[in-house]
Amino acid sequence: MEKIKQKDINRENLLNQGVSLLIQQGYHGTGLKEILDAVQIPKGSFYNYFGSKENFAAEVINHYISPYIAQLHGYLAQSEGDSIAALKRYLHEGIDELERTEFKGGCLLGNLTGEVGDTSDLCRVALQSALNCYRDVWELGLNRAQFEGSIRKDKTAREMADLWVNSWQGALLRMKIEQSTAPLKQCYQELLCDFFKA
């Protein structure tokens, strides 16, 4: 029982370290030794957990997106009939955090899409799945907002959620090169407060 528990802890530590290093240094800039040294796990154990660096990256992608999806679901669950306010709260907190960390990292999904999205089928599928899950939560929120009357109804919630994710990912990339949250705030204002509005 204790061994299984320690194995789960080691796996979680590896995934957490993977998120941190892949955001900071990218897939190709991060070596296995660096990850293993950070969590003090022997190389052989790594392959028992993940099999390969590519498998590891695919699992890191899923590990990375899960808390964002849970957080957004949580905000929507507590929205009390104002889903658009829940989406805005989620974005405000995210933008504040990016300003606090001085725009470091951005979004792991966007970073890895540019780096390995067309060279690793395994990572491409994981990235697509993660973005689709994120899009689906946005679709849920926008669908509720349509029902509540705060979002336009001449476009489907899915169409608007896809547009949101596409635009937001682009804004995150621009944020990194401009060292400013201005692209995020523009995306927020132009879409959520204007184009999507009823």
Q: What is the pLDDT of residues 136-172, one digit of tens each?
A: 999 999 999 999 999 999 999 999 999 999 999 999 9
| pLDDT the model gives residue 101 | 87
Q: Residue 125 domain-assigned?
A: yes
27-32: average pLDDT: 92
Q: Residue 30 domain-assigned?
A: no
- Rounded CA-CA distance 27/93 in Å is 27
Do residues 19 and 108 touch, judged by C-beta distance below 8 A? yes
Q: Residue 130 domain-assigned?
A: yes
Kindly report the CATH number assigned to the domain that includes residue 127: 1.10.357.10
Q: Quick one: pLDDT band at residue 1, thresholds 50, 70, 90?
A: very low
- Rounded CA-CA distance 10/20 in Å is 15
Shortest CA distance to 76 belongs to which of 94, 89, 65?
89
21 pLDDT above the threshold of 90: yes
Q: Containing domain of residue 128, as a range?
A: 54-195
Total domains, the chain? 1
